């Protein structure tokens, strides 16, 4: 559903000292929307790469009740387009209420009416961005008593009503499955696999009996297995490694990209070439 394809990295400014090495081994690159636009911030050297690029946002909050496309956002989206961004993603969630923001994602209430409303917001975002939009599954620690749909029913309804793609974060899914005792493989089987634009993979932390989406540790062996299954059963066109800050050495990040490439080659070899 977009030109964004292959094995990639979610780029961070802390990778600048080995960016050339990274550029040589990936097909595509994801950049952080809020950290990159307006252009001129630290880390935007990656905009000069010849690779296909997606912008990943944290704060657009397409599920919030008072979602609106502000003029300032239109300018930033135009700047992203002008800098070669072909795909915009954020989370199926909201992280702000009124003027208050939190560095986390609130769960949606899973009803048909909410799916319809949020799909309308996503369609408005795609219209403003003038590019494909994909929505990621955040970690959801709690179900709400008013939920009337399963998570995959809700996600599929939003994707099809908005006619948008999904970023399936297999680490988030693994965390949810462990914390809430469900089968992540069944979850993937229940998704509309043709809607999956790309996959995220990352590490997680253990905290007081729960798993937490920390992006600061090595990818777990069971998450690699889940990624392998997701690539084999969905239409995902790309896989992206998320590593925050410099939580790993250059060699660890390069070796995780090697693993990613080997899993990719089992399913999609030849469908994307290194730039």
* Residues making contact with Fe ion (CB under 5 A): 169, 200
CA distance 204 to 164: 27
Q: Which is nearer to Fe ion, 151 or 169 (CB)?
A: 169
Shortest approach of Fe ion to residue 103 CB, angstroms? 14
Residue 165 C-beta: closest distance to Fe ion, Å: 14
Residues 6+ apart with CB under 8 A from 78: none
- Smaller CB separation from Fe ion, 58 or 86: 58
Burial of 136-169, coded b for 16+ CB within 10 Å and e otherwise, reads bbbbbeeeeeebebebbebbbbbbebbebbbbbb
Nearest approach in angstroms of CB 93 to Fe ion is: 12
Give least dist CB 71 to Fe ion, A: 29
Report whether 159 contacts 166 (CB < 8 A).
yes
Q: Which residues of 57-83 are buried (b: 16+ CB within 10 A; e: fewer)?
A: bbebbbbbeebeeeeebeebbeebeeb
The nearest distance, CB 40 to Fe ion, in angstroms, is: 26
In angstroms, what is the minimal distance from the CB of 113 to Fe ion?
Answer: 27
**Whose Cβ is closer to Fe ion: residue 130's or residue 245's?**
245
14 close to 245: Cβ distance less than 8 angstroms: yes
Q: Which one, 57 or 76, has the nearer CB to Fe ion? A: 57
Q: How far is the CB of 155 from Fe ion (least distance, A)?
A: 15
Cβ closest to Fe ion, residue 51 vs residue 215: 215
DSSP structure string for 126-163: HHHHTSEEEEE--------TT--S-HHHHHHHHHHHHT
Is the dihedral angle over the CA atoms 60, 204, 250, 137 positive or is it negative? negative
Q: How far is the CB of 200 from Fe ion (least distance, A)?
A: 4
Query: Are 76 and 127 within 8 A, CB to CB?
Result: no
Q: In angstroms, what CA-CA distances link 233 with 164, 183, 188, 193, 196? A: 19, 15, 8, 7, 10
Alpha carbons within 13 angstroms on the beta-carbon side of residue 215 total 15
3-class DSSP state for residue 55?
A: strand
Residue (112 or 205) nearer to Fe ion, CB: 205
Which lies closer to Fe ion via its Cβ, residue 93 or residue 157? 93
Q: Which is nearer to Fe ion, 51 or 200 (CB)?
A: 200
């Amino acid at each position: 559903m977009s030109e964004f394809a292959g094995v990639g990295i979610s780029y961070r400014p802390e990778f600048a000292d080995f960016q050339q090495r990274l550029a040589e081994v990936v097909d595509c690159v994801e950049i952080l929307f809020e950290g990159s636009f307006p252009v001129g911030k630290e880390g935007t050297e990656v905009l000069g790469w010849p690779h296909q690029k997606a912008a990943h946002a944290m704060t657009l909050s397409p599920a919030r009740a008072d979602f609106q496309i502000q003029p300032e956002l239109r300018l930033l989206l135009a700047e992203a387009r002008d800098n070669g961004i072909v795909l915009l993603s954020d989370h199926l969630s909201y992280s702000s209420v009124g003027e208050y923001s939190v560095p986390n994602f609130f769960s949606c209430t899973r009803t048909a009416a909410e799916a319809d409303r949020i799909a309308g917001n996503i369609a408005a975002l795609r219209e403003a961005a003038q590019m494909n939009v994909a929505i990621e599954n955040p970690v959801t620690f709690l179900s709400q008593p008013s939920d009337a749909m399963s998570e995959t029913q809700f996600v599929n309804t939003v994707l099809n009503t908005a006619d948008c793609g999904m970023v399936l974060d297999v680490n988030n899914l693994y965390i949810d499955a462990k914390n809430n005792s469900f089968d992540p493989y069944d979850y993937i089987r229940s998704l509309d696999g043709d809607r999956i634009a790309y996959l995220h993979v990352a590490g997680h932390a253990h905290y007081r009996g729960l798993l937490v989406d920390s992006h600061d540790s090595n990818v777990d062996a069971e998450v690699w297995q889940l990624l392998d299954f997701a690539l084999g059963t969905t239409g995902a066109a790309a896989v992206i490694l998320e590593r925050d800050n410099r939580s790993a050495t250059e060699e660890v990040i390069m070796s995780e990209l090697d693993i990613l490439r080997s899993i990719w080659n089992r399913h999609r070899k030849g469908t994307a070439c290194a730039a």
